[in-house]
Structure 1
Amino acid sequence: MTLPAAPRSVIGADGQPLFGRYAGQAAGFDWRALAGPHARGALWRRFHHKRWHYVALATEQVFCAVAIVDLGWTSTCFAYAFDRDDGDMLANFSQDGLPGVSASLADSADGRSTFKAKGTRIAIEGVGEGRHRLELDCPYLRIDAEFGPGASPLLLAAGPVKGGSVHATQKSSGMPLSGEVRLWRGEYDLAGGVASFDYSNGLLARNTAWRWASAHNLELGFNLQAGYFGGHENALWLDGRLHALGPAHFLYDQSEPLSDWHIFTEDDLLELFFTPEGARRQDKNLVVAASRYLQPIGTFTGWVRASVDDPKRVVTRLVGVTEDHTSRW
């Protein structure tokens, strides 16, 4: 089914969250306005409020991903560039920041998110009329990119979180991309590529886990998740329209993460097989916090459709990522 227009705020005048999936953009996510039973005190919010701004850039030759993450009590960032021609991870960077100092996360998907630390500068921002800019300067990697506007509306999803309170996310469709990636091997032109982003903002549980898949071209794309947010953010972009998808299942051999993945939705609107070309991995154990992170880069082949009465649309080697992530934060 197609989605209703997004409300300006995901919190109603009565303080109750407007749970659901929508097409469009919210102006912001101020969880201080929540009323019972979803309201939480300032100290609880301080340690459970999690926000991230993630951008993916894809061309036939290179795939890049950049994220700024604010965990409330600390912050972090990562960036990588993967050469799809030879399966080589050209750059793989991450850095933790000082709480309340290094990271500044936007209040909405078209705001400005930044990360600043010694030797590292990252900015993700909306620049008007559905366009966005990414600027990154870190050891061994520089990115200057502009992308948008997309032909399809943003996904807005809001829902409850077990062990936490509420969560909301804005996901984009594929957007036309231009710019340049510069690193030790040389320069990569991003012109003709596709960008997408994920802006997420919520009051999450201490232990949070998910599997995720995302891939886009300018006509077709999808976002799928199984885990802490259930099926709330599962969606298909097809020919300029945004459609809700049912709960998703991710099947793969965890002992061999670069083996093929099988992904399908319960509503019989999507079935895909993902073939990894490489992966970014990072495991952390900081005693009070820990994470296990795997993001394979590769291609999806299979089919999608907007309804069970529609013919299946073939998907062939659509570049994107999957993810398996477990955090204690």
Structure 2
Amino acid sequence: MKQLIGENNKVNYGCIDEPIEWNYRDFVLRDFFNREIKGLRKKRAYHQFNYIGISAGKYIAGFAIVDLGAVKNVFGFLYEMGSGIILESDDKCPGFSRKMDFPRNPDSYKARYESRSTSLLIDKDKDEGVLTIDCHFKKRLKIKGRFPYSMEKHRPLRVLNPNDPNRFTFTEKCSPLRAEDIEISLDGEKLPFDKETVTAIYDWSGGYLRRETIWYWTAFSAILPDGTSIGTNLAAFVNETFFSENAFWIDNNRTRVPRVIYDIDPLDPYKRWHVYDETGTLDLIFTPEGERSDKINGGPLAKAIFRQFIGMFEGYFHPEGEKRIDFHNIKGFCEIHRALW
């Protein structure tokens, strides 16, 4: 098993297609002048989050558990294409709150959150090769499902990168996951959709992120009319200098993409987005339809602004030496995120 932190504080950077020993406490965190950061400052500098997005018929749902050290956050939403957000839930609590239990282990964990109106469980078991979710938001929206998920079959992208000389981030991404069982209900009524075509994206990140972190992000998952499964997870402004965290999947076959370019209007992000790479491996047009936005203001310790857009993709994937896959009318996400944490 590969260790996160090796001897002499060496972070074992790379693309990691095997289980990892998450010995993050062994890491010696240092400031700009290479002075060691200890105690509460070090604890608050560690951040971890897990996002899951689900595409089910005309519906798209997203939810996340977020630990920013000083602030904790759980959110979820349900969006109906053509209509907009049907329900949105957002719970925030201070870093010392016991409402959240978010284990430090990307391979196997049970992430939990419990408040008066909202509960969340994300259970990932690498030995069984399964991801289980059971979430209730505002006592109105219920999302419960089971997704086969293993490193061998689904080939997630797992990369460990520096984000400055003294900090690191590990991220795991995979798309699509196909539901073995799934139920989404609102106010006690099950939503109508074909369970055979339900897909999910998975995104987990943890580490000592830069004090100011910015990203553009793109993700979607789908089953094409001919039965081909496709998905992608892309980002810019995060970790372009070492191991790329960009990839797409066709029938669980992963293709890594070195770098992606975002041609967007940041002052008018409802204009079409063009996301592509220099070699022609992928080319996407995203048309935003609606958004979920949020602000986290934890004073001088943590601040974040993000706008997550829901819309439709068209474009293609073209792995080297293989058939080009064209697609259109694919539901998914693009996001603009900026944080001081």
Q: Do both proteins adopt the same fold according to a TM-score greater than 0.5, normalized to the shorter chain?
A: yes
Corresponding residue of 1:19: 13
Q: Which moved more, 1:261-270 or 1:235-244?
A: 235-244
Q: Which runs of 5+ in 1 are unaligned?
A: 1-6
Given that residues 261 and 276 in structure 2 are in contact (C-alpha distance below 8 angstroms), is that contact kept between their aligned partners in structure 1? yes
Instruction: Tell me how far apart the structure 2 counterparts of residues 205 and 97 of structure 1 sit (CA, whole Å).
Output: 22
Q: How does 1:238-277 map to 2 (within 5 A)?
A: 238-277=250-289
Given that residues 55 and 65 in structure 1 are in contact (C-alpha distance below 8 angstroms), is that contact kept between their aligned partners in structure 2? yes
3-state SS, counterpart of residue 17 of structure 1: coil
Q: Which moved more, 1:14-23 or 1:157-166?
A: 14-23
Q: Which amino acid aligns with 2:272?
A: D
Q: Report the Cα offset of residue 41 of structure 1.
A: 3.2
Instruction: Tell me how far apart the structure 1 counterparts of residues 67 and 272 of structure 2 sit (CA, whole Å).
Output: 32
Change (3 A) 1:176 1:189: farther
Corresponding residue of 1:170: 172
Instruction: Tell me how far apart the structure 2 counterparts of residues 163 and 74 of structure 1 sit (CA, whole Å).
Output: 25
Q: Report the Cα offset of residue 15 of structure 1.
A: 3.7
Corresponding residue of 2:143: 143
1:125 aligns with 2:118: no
Number of residue equivalences? 320
Between the aligned residues of both structures, percent identity stands at 22
Q: Which amino acid aligns with 2:220?
A: A
Q: Which amino acid aligns with 1:30?
A: N
Given that residues 21 and 244 in structure 1 are in contact (C-alpha distance below 8 angstroms), is that contact kept between their aligned partners in structure 2? no
Of 297, 305, 324, the residue aligned with 1:312 is 324
Q: Which amino acid aligns with 1:209?
A: I
The C-alpha deviation readout for 1:96-116, integer Å capped at 9, x for no partner, is 023241222132243111112
Instruction: Tell me how far apart the structure 1 counterparts of residues 88 and 51 of structure 2 sit (CA, whole Å).
Output: 15
Q: Report the Cα offset of residue 239 of structure 1.
A: 3.0
Corresponding residue of 2:100: 103
Given that residues 4 and 24 in structure 2 are in contact (C-alpha distance below 8 angstroms), is that contact kept between their aligned partners in structure 1? no
Q: Report the Cα offset of residue 194 of structure 1.
A: 0.4
Tell me the TM-score normalized by structure 2: 0.86
Tell me the TM-score normalized by structure 1: 0.88
Instruction: Tell me how far apart the structure 2 counterparts of residues 164 and 213 of structure 1 sit (CA, whole Å).
Output: 27
Given that residues 29 and 166 in structure 2 are in contact (C-alpha distance below 8 angstroms), is that contact kept between their aligned partners in structure 1? no
3-state SS, counterpart of residue 174 of structure 1: strand
Given that residues 50 and 204 in structure 2 are in contact (C-alpha distance below 8 angstroms), is that contact kept between their aligned partners in structure 1? yes
Corresponding residue of 1:197: 202
The C-alpha deviation readout for 1:244-280, integer Å capped at 9, x for no partner, is 2111111222232222110012333111101123211
Q: Which moved more, 1:206-215 or 1:274-283?
A: 274-283
Instruction: Tell me how far apart the structure 1 counterparts of residues 249 and 15 of structure 2 sit (CA, whole Å).
Output: 13
1:229 aligns with 2:239: yes
Instruction: Tell me how far apart the structure 1 counterparts of residues 5 and 250 of structure 2 sit (CA, whole Å).
Output: 29
Corresponding residue of 1:179: 182
The C-alpha deviation readout for 1:181-211, integer Å capped at 9, x for no partner, is 2224932156220012111111012211101
The C-alpha deviation readout for 1:124-150, integer Å capped at 9, x for no partner, is 012552211111122132211221236
Instruction: Tell me how far apart the structure 2 counterparts of residues 83 and 165 of structure 1 sit (CA, whole Å).
Output: 39
Given that residues 29 and 201 in structure 1 are in contact (C-alpha distance below 8 angstroms), is that contact kept between their aligned partners in structure 2? no
1:88 aligns with 2:84: yes
Q: Which moved more, 1:10-19 or 1:199-208?
A: 10-19
Q: Report the Cα offset of residue 31 of structure 1.
A: 1.8
Change (3 A) 1:21 1:279: same
Instruction: Tell me how far apart the structure 1 counterparts of residues 42 and 115 of structure 2 sit (CA, whole Å).
Output: 25
Q: Report the Cα offset of residue 233 of structure 1.
A: 0.7
1:152 aligns with 2:146: no
3-state SS, counterpart of residue 46 of structure 1: helix
Given that residues 174 and 232 in structure 2 are in contact (C-alpha distance below 8 angstroms), is that contact kept between their aligned partners in structure 1? no
Q: Which amino acid aligns with 1:196?
A: I
Change (3 A) 1:142 1:103: same
Instruction: Tell me how far apart the structure 2 counterparts of residues 88 and 70 of structure 1 sit (CA, whole Å).
Output: 28
Q: Which moved more, 1:185-194 or 1:240-249?
A: 185-194
Q: Which amino acid aligns with 1:327?
A: A
Q: Which moved more, 1:178-187 or 1:298-307?
A: 178-187
Q: Report the Cα offset of residue 53 of structure 1.
A: 1.2
Instruction: Tell me how far apart the structure 1 counterparts of residues 291 and 109 of structure 2 sit (CA, whole Å).
Output: 29
Q: CA RMSD in A?
A: 2.4
Q: Which amino acid aligns with 1:217?
A: A
